[in-house]
């Protein structure tokens, strides 16, 4: 059974695409079969890798036909496939949103499509647009678990609590109901602090977030122990079309490397992988 992670958040620029790529790549280097899916019309994930021979179809067929046939492209990295977003227009006239609006049953087509791929992958990681909306809701309903990068400052952490967590809670159809219309409980959300700086302010925000969700007591959100530092390597790796842990220029000695950070993230999310070393040597 593939484990389906959706990387979500109602704000742009928090690190959803970077986290999707880097987590998918570390899993792949741990010899896990991984599928990335780009659901953001900005297509940042689709453009991350240089893909010379894309598949004939992509996200549109997956979502509107509930059929992954012909949708899967090769990234060129072992164990790592991708479904490209071929709906660049999104809410400006692309085909996917009208389809989701046409019937309330259409929102679970993505869920159905991914079930047919279950035997072929260990992990499916879905990148999303930084906003609320029907596509993001369809993704959340298809996911087993969520990952939400949060930048440790006042505005971003407030947006996470009210925007992202608010969106999640709104997906329970009625007060008192425990399952979504996909017939599953709400997927739990792993908040991962991203772009951590070395300031008192950032540490205070992290502490506040941990307290907030420990006290909520409903298990919907956990703030991961793994923290992704604010480091140039994450941006430079994107420019080189490489996962960050493959691309490690000189780094400040006070910060863990991208490889250490991503290995820790993979182990924390999937304790059964603890001890599995990634094959990639920097």
Ligand X SMILES: Nc1ncnc2c1ncn2[C@@H]1O[C@H](COP(=O)(O)OP(=O)(O)O)[C@@H](O)[C@H]1O
C-beta of 5: minimal distance to ligand X in Å? 14
Please, what is the minimum distance in Å from the beta carbon of residue 17 to Mg ion? 3
46 near ligand X (CB under 6 A): no
Judged by CB under 6 A, does residue 248 bind ligand X? no
Q: Which span sits near ligand X by CB under 6 A: 12-20, 153-161, 173-181, 273-281?
A: 12-20
CA atoms within 13 A of residue 191's CA, in its CB half-sphere: 30
From the list 29-37, 110-118, 132-140, 227-235, the region that binds ligand X by CB under 6 A is: 227-235
Q: How far is the CB of 238 from ligand X (least distance, A)?
A: 5
Binding ligand X (rule: CB under 6 A), the pick from 4, 5, 6, 14 is 14
Residue 195 partner contact from Mg ion, ligand X, none using kind-dependent CB cut-offs of 5 to 8 Å: ligand X
> Shortest Cβ distance from residue 14 to ligand X (Å)?
4
235 binds, among ligand X, Mg ion, none (CB under 5 to 8 A by kind): ligand X
Q: What angle do CA 223, 225, 229 make, to 5 degrees?
A: 100
Q: Which residue among 142, 238, 263, 265 contacts ligand X (CB under 6 A)?
A: 238
Q: Does 58 bind ligand X (CB under 6 A)?
A: no
Contact present, 144 and 2 (Cβ < 8 Å): no
Nearest to 37 by CA among 99, 92, 96, 102: 96
Give the interface size with ligand X as a residue count (CB under 6 A).
17
Interface positions with Mg ion (CB under 5 A): 16-17, 44
Rounded to an integer, what distance in angstroms lies between the CA atom of residue 71 and that of residue 271? 31
For residue 5, what are the contacts with CB-CB under 8 A and spacing of at least 6? 23, 123, 124, 125, 126, 143, 144, 145, 146, 147, 269
Answer for which of 12, 70, 98, 197 binds ligand X (CB under 6 A) is 12
- The first and second tokens of residue 90, run together, are 């999104």
Question: Is residue 6 involved in binding ligand X (CB under 6 A)?
Answer: no
Binding flag, residue 192, ligand X (CB under 6 A): no
Q: Does the protein bind ligand X through residue 173 (CB under 6 A)?
A: no
- By beta-carbon proximity to ligand X, the closer residue of 176 and 239 is 239
Interface residue list for ligand X (CB under 6 A): 12-18, 44, 130, 194-195, 228, 230-231, 234-235, 238
């Amino acid at each position: 059974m593939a484990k389906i992670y959706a990387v979500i958040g109602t704000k742009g620029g928090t690190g959803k695409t970077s986290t999707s790529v880097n987590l998918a790549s570390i899993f792949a280097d741990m010899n896990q079969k991984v599928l990335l899916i780009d659901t953001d019309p900005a297509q940042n994930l689709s453009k991350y890798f240089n893909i010379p021979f894309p598949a004939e179809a992509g996200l549109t067929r997956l979502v509107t036909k509930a059929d992954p046939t012909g949708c899967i492209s090769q990234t060129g990295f072992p164990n790592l496939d991708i479904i490209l977003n071929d709906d660049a227009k999104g809410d400006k006239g692309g085909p996917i949103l009208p389809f989701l609006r046409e019937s309330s049953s259409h929102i679970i087509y993505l869920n159905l499509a991914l079930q047919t791929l279950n035997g072929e992958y260990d992990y499916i990681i879905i990148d999303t647009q930084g906003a609320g909306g029907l596509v993001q809701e369809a993704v959340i309903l298809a996911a087993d678990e969520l990952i939400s990068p949060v930048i440790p400052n006042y505005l971003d952490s407030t947006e996470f609590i009210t925007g992202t967590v608010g969106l999640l809670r709104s997906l329970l159809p009625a007060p008192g109901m425990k399952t979504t219309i996909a017939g599953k409980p709400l997927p739990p959300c792993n908040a991962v602090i991203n772009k951590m700086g070395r300031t008192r302010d950032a540490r205070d925000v992290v502490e506040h977030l941990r307290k907030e969700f420990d006290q909520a007591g409903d298990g919907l959100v956990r703030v991961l122990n793994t923290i992704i530092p604010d480091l140039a390597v994450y941006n430079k790796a994107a420019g080189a079309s490489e996962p960050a842990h493959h691309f490690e220029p000189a780094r400040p000695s006070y910060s863990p490397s991208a490889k250490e950070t991503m290995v820790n993230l993979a182990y924390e999310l999937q304790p059964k992988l603890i001890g599995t070393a990634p094959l990639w040597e920097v």
